[in-house]
Amino acid sequence: MMETMEFITNEAVAELENCDPSTARKWAAENGVQFIGQGKAKRYLWTQGDIAKFREREKPGRRWPAKKAKKKK
C-alpha cells in the first residue's frame, strides 16, 4: 500500500508563522525543502517536519506584527 504525503505551500507557511513569504522562501531554499519547477516557477513543498524546523530557526531582524482584523462600519 502506498503512503501519501501532505504538502503545504510557501504562502500557507508564511501565513501560519506570521512572517513574510520571502522569509519562508529563502529559508526553504537554504534548508533543503523539496520543490517542483525551476526558476521563478519553483514551488516549495513543505512537510510538517520542515515547518517544525522553520519554527526553531534563529530569528534575526524585525518581527512582523500580527495581522489585526478589520472593523466593519
Whole-model pTM over 0.75:
no
- The whole-number pLDDT of residue 45 equals 92
Q: What is the pLDDT of residue 66?
A: 63
Average pLDDT for runs of 10 along the chain of length 73: 75 92 93 91 92 87 63 65
**What is the per-residue DSSP string for 7-73?**
-B-HHHHHHHTTS-HHHHHHHHHHTT--EES-GGG-EE-B-HHHHHHHHTS---SPPPPPPPPPPP-
Nearest alpha-carbon partner for 14 in 3, 4, 5, 25: 25
What Cα–Cα distance (Å) separates residue 47 from each residue in 31, 52, 62?
A: 13, 9, 26
Position 6 scores a pLDDT of 83
Domain boundaries, the chain: 10-55
pLDDT of residue 30: 94
